[in-house]
Amino acid sequence: MSGLHRCIVMAPMHNEQSNVEAFVRRLAGTAADGWELVVVDDGSSDETVDRLTECAAKVNSEQLAIRLVTLSRNFGHQRAIIAGLEVALRRAEETEIDRIAVIDADLQDRPEHLQELLDACASVDVAYAVRASRGESLLFRITAGAFYRVLAHWARSPVPANAGTFSVMNTRAAEAILNNVDENVFFPGLRSWIGFNQTAVPLDRDGRADGNSRVGLKGLIRLAVGALFGYSKLPLRLMVLISAGSLLLSLIAVITMTVLKLAGLVAVEGIALVVVLLFFNLSVLAIFLTILAYMVGRNPSPVQARGLYVIGSERCLN
Ligand code: UDP
Ligand code: MG
């Protein structure tokens, strides 16, 4: 069946001027007739758009039509994906193409693997790549592995380990994702959360073709914390564990002090008792408040609710 599926491929780009040409070339090399590429330019400050426009002009639009969506500024990888999905879904309806692929533009995901994902997606709603090997550093692999294990263990809905953004889905899956985005976007978590029939495809993953991670360490940490709070029970469990432990300790301290005082072994001042009680109870409260504040803060209030991104323009490049 390879090569027969038509597909809309969506790729977010932020400062990918050095990768965009190779990306388009490799994608055009693997695309069957009637494919479409939707690039989301996520506020690039380099020549990504110019390079893309140049190389798009050389691509046969019958085979691979290229469409550029620019966001009004940099909104970040996860939001760029959602913005791109919105446009891809609309294009899918306009072109009657039923498959949407999401792929990074730095060539960590191999465009040549799209056929494999499309084949796997033929009988299910979502086919997503799980990284068979990672082209990243050992330290990154260890921390990412630990993160996915924690998340897989604690997630409210199963978030598959080592599944990134690279995936193919049908329009009902894309629609379900778009109908359920919250401010704290974590695309792999959300994609798994929607349910339907999903299948994992183990695929090798390369190192970034050129440049450094555009998401960066800070972005990754923010994403990991967001995913833990948005998709796992870990913070709640920790809250219960720590406050229960704290309470137990304070109880033991109070009892010990009372016994010591009654037995006349040590002259425990009443004030000491009060201090111990205060200390432990305040620590319990503090933990409670921090976590609650964090969780409440992550839910957009209806008053503050804003969109997740702003699309600046959209045009056809070939
Ligand atoms: N990206 C984006 N906006 C950003 C950061 C990254 O659209 O603010 C794009 C980037 O161009 C790439 C993909 O998202 O196509 C993944 O980014 P990156 O490779 O930096 O992430 P990593 O692989 O390090 O997680
Ligand atoms: Mg990357």
- Residue 106 beta carbon below 6 angstroms from any ligand 1 atom: yes
Instruction: Tell me how far apart the alpha carbons of residues 156 and 229 are, in angstroms, rounded to a whole number.
Output: 10
Distance 40 CA to ligand 1 centre (A): 11
User: Which residues are 10's β-sheet partners?
Assistant: 38, 102
- Residue 164 beta carbon below 6 angstroms from any ligand 1 atom: no
- Residue 41 beta carbon below 6 angstroms from any ligand 1 atom: no
User: Which ligand has an atom closest to residue 23 CA?
Assistant: 1
- Residue 105 beta carbon below 6 angstroms from any ligand 1 atom: yes
Distance 133 CA to ligand 2 centre (A): 14
pLDDT of residue 3: 46
pTM for the complete prediction?
A: 0.81
pLDDT of residue 118: 97
Task: Calculate ∠ Cα 50-55-57, nearest 5°.
Answer: 100
Nearest residue to 44 (alpha-carbon basis) of 236, 312, 282, 317: 312
Residue nearest ligand 1's atom 14 by CA: 77
Name, in order, each residue with C-beta under 8 angstroms of 182's C-beta and a sequence gap of 6 or more: 230, 299, 300
pLDDT of the chain, 318 residues: tens digit per residue:
444 689 999 999 999 999 999 999 999 999 999 999 999 999 999 999 999 999 999 999 999 999 999 999 999 999 999 999 999 999 999 999 999 999 999 999 999 999 999 999 999 999 999 987 766 778 877 888 888 787 777 776 667 778 889 999 999 999 999 999 988 888 998 999 899 999 999 999 888 888 888 888 888 888 888 888 777 777 777 877 887 888 788 888 888 888 888 888 777 677 877 888 787 788 788 778 777 867 776 665 554 567 788 998 999 999
Work out whether strand 198-204 and strand 311-316 pair parallel, antiparallel, or are unpaired. unpaired
Please, which residues have CB less than 5 A from ligand 2, an ion? Answer: 106, 108, 208
Residue positions counted in the chain: 318
Instruction: Tell me how far apart the alpha carbons of residues 223 and 186 are, in angstroms, rounded to a whole number.
Output: 7
pLDDT of residue 316: 94
Instruction: Tell me how far apart the alpha carbons of residues 168 and 56 are, in angstroms, rounded to a whole number.
Output: 23
Residue 236: phi, psi to the nearest 5?
-65, -45
pLDDT of residue 4: 64
Cβ(114)–Cβ(9) under 8 Å?
Answer: yes
- Across the beta sheet with 8-13, what order do the strands follow? 198-204, 126-133, 163-170, 99-102, 8-13, 35-41, 64-71, 311-316
User: Which ligand has an atom closest to residue 219 CA?
Assistant: 1
- Residue 76 beta carbon below 6 angstroms from any ligand 1 atom: yes
Atom of ligand 1 nearest to the CA of 15: 11
- Residue 79 beta carbon below 6 angstroms from any ligand 1 atom: no
- Residue 38 beta carbon below 6 angstroms from any ligand 1 atom: no
Could you give the C-alpha distances from 235 to 61, 167, 181, 225, 231, in angstroms and in order?
Answer: 49, 29, 21, 10, 10
Name, in order, each residue with C-beta under 8 angstroms of 270's C-beta and a sequence gap of 6 or more: none
pLDDT of residue 135: 65
Identify the H or E element spanning 177. helix 171-179
Instruction: Tell me how far apart the alpha carbons of residues 161 and 28 are, in angstroms, rounded to a whole number.
Output: 30
Nearest residue to 16 (alpha-carbon basis) of 188, 221, 251, 209: 209
CATH tag, 2-232+305-316: 3.90.550.10
Domain regions of the chain by residue span:
2-232+305-316, 234-298
- Residue 67 beta carbon below 6 angstroms from any ligand 1 atom: no
DSSP state of 208: -
Q: Where on the phi/psi map is residue 102: left (φ > 0), alpha (ψ -120 to 50), or beta?
A: beta
User: Which residues are 66's β-sheet partners?
Assistant: 37
Nearest residue to 246 (alpha-carbon basis) of 278, 284, 285, 212: 284
Could you give the C-alpha distances from 139 to 49, 135, 226, in angstroms and in order?
Answer: 33, 12, 21
